[in-house]
Amino acid sequence: MKAEIDEASFPHSPQCRDNKQKDGVPEPPGGLQNDSEVIPDWKEQEWDTEKPESYAGIFHFRFWRFGEWVDVVIDDRLPTVDNQLVYCHSNDSNEFWSALVEKAYAKVYGCYEALDGGNTADALVDFTGGVSEPADLLEGQMATDEVARNQLFERVLKVHNRDGLISCSIRATTIEDMEARLDCGLVKGHAYAVTDVKKVRLGHGLLAFFKSEKLHMIRMRNPWGEKEWSGPWSDSSEEWNKVSKSEREKLGVTVQDDGEFWMTFDDFCQYFTDLIMCRLINTSYLSIHKTWEEEVMRGSWVHRQDPLRNRSGGCINHKATFLQNPQYVFDVKKLEDEVLICLQQKEKRATPKEGKGENLAIGFDIHRVELNRKYRMHSAQQKVAGSIYINSRCVFLRKELQEGRYVIIPTTFDPGQQGDFLLRVFTDVPSDCKELTLDEPPQTCWTGMCGYPQLVTQVHVMNAEGLQGQENNGELHHLNTSKERLLSKSRAVDPYVIITCEGERVRSPVYKDTRCPNFDIKGLFYRKKPKEGIHIEIYNKNMIVDTFLGQVILFSDPNERQELHTLHLRDKGSRQDNDLPGTLTVRLITSTALTNI
């Protein structure tokens, strides 16, 4: 891209460094060769020597802002000193795309000065639309914990191989520490870009191939374009003699002070304190890589006096108001699934018309709830995960969750604070994420005829013990002799449970190869017929026809807040009073107030 350079374009800020790329402003991956979201239609915007009349002196860029790609238009006038670009620039004096991108980004935030010392994680998201995952290397004890360090390397390698952007830094604890150079050549308080992650083969020739010894290596670039790591595996160190010439050429090892250098991942974790991985979440079904299912929810924290309408309850420390926050339900439909959750607040410093202000301290909790929950939670359930609370623009959490239904509660740290937020949920299969807006079943024109619930009951099926075993062919034992009873105890089954109340059914996942399953599942029922029993049946999963293992029938009294039952399993039909092998432990909670559970 060609651009006019004009010294009078912008006032020169003495607070900005001369001839150095700004921290927190990453280069778009691939430059102009990447037909990316950031530089749309770059071929049409490129200077064409054959058609100079087509040049209009303006450029279009796009940045990901609060869930949308926003178009930013700038002219071609760039700030200079002595006819040299002041801020971000290319080594090629005739290449201007990086300076133009920086100008467009500065326009988003109001001025160039707003980019000084910006948040790297936010910038990576702005340029990619991905999600940033921070890693505290000190807190994770990565320098001393080899297992944790190797796991982190594999995550970093995967993010890099899937075109994610990675940044790292050495934390500065004082103002004097900012940009202080260590004896090893690294600079504190300075954002380094990770440009490559490799498992490097050591040795030479066929011996190296068969030996298969590999070193975990990471390559970084100082955005100043100078000042490099001077320790082991630096550009001119003797360690590179352990690697074949072909391997060095493949890695692109050069001996020059260009700001780019290699180091082992062990040394990296020894010196660096913070790592930011910006994942480019793949949602394309045409990709050979893992495809994620994305759900995007927009919401607001709004303070109201009415507890049932208030949506700004603060974090879980404020127990009286915590559940008044927005609530979002989603399903994990696999036995276990890695779930990525990103909560982003609308940034105030990028909206000068609304006035500048500090970001709110935000975070979220995840609660495992009843398998059929469809109304808002009014009592705390089983908390399975929670993010940190921080006044950054985005909060991220990666968590392995078991099959079931979950509710995310995004909150501000303190109650009564207001703002807009964006919630993004990524799962392996569709999660059917949606906001819970109703507090109880709505009253309709049919309520008078069909009736309205009088009670709400939570059924918590906890565990079973001593279920009846089966033969290898799937047939249950007929327990005629003591020997057969003993045999049946040694044969495991694949049980699952069904809870039925007034025609509504809740079914658990199948638990493999056990006669003592820890079901730990819940169902929630709004009941119009309080005297009708709640049926809980256990079945064994077979290839063709599932086998009945026993049942219990319960009646819940609202005067007893929590009832714990351990009951013997019974048969069906006319033999209902006959005991079958095994017991079932169940907890019931019943209330006449439909907004109590």
User: Which residues does the annotation mark as catalytic?
Assistant: 190, 222
Q: How far apart are CA 391 and CA 414, in angstroms?
A: 12
| Backbone angles phi and psi of 133, in degrees to 5 | -115, 110
Q: Name residues whose C-beta falls within 8 Å of residue 430's C-beta, 6 or more positions apart in sequence.
A: 293, 333
Three-state SS string over 447-480 comes to HHHHCCCCEEEEEEEEEEECCCCECCCCCECCCC
Q: How far apart are CA 468 and CA 568, in angstroms?
A: 12
Determine contact, residues 178/172, Cβ cutoff 8 Å: yes
**Paired strand residues for 461:** 521, 586
Q: How far apart are CA 118 and CA 381, in angstroms?
A: 38
Q: How far apart are CA 185 and CA 406, in angstroms?
A: 48
Q: How far apart are CA 252 and CA 195, in angstroms?
A: 12
Residues listed for the chain: 597
| Backbone angles phi and psi of 523, in degrees to 5 | -130, 150
DSSP string, 489-531: HHS-B-EEEEEEETTEEEEPPPPPSBSS----EEEEEEES-TT
Q: How far apart are CA 570 and CA 507, in angstroms?
A: 19
DSSP string, 189-252: T--EEEEEEEEEEPBSHHHHHHH--EEEEEEEE-TTS-----STTSTT-GGGGGB-HHHHHHHT
> What's the DSSP call for residue 33?
G
Determine contact, residues 70/61, Cβ cutoff 8 Å: no
Q: How far apart are CA 128 and CA 384, in angstroms?
A: 30
Which of 295, 283, 511, 294 is CA-nearest to residue 403?
511
Q: Degrees (nearest 5) of the Cα angle 169, 171, 172? A: 125
Q: How many CB atoms lie within 10 A of CB 260?
A: 21
Q: How far apart are CA 127 and CA 105, in angstroms?
A: 9
The helix/strand/coil state of 540 is strand
Q: How far apart are CA 369 and CA 407, in angstroms?
A: 7
- Find tokens 């940034």 and name the residue: 347
**Paired strand residues for 382:** 368
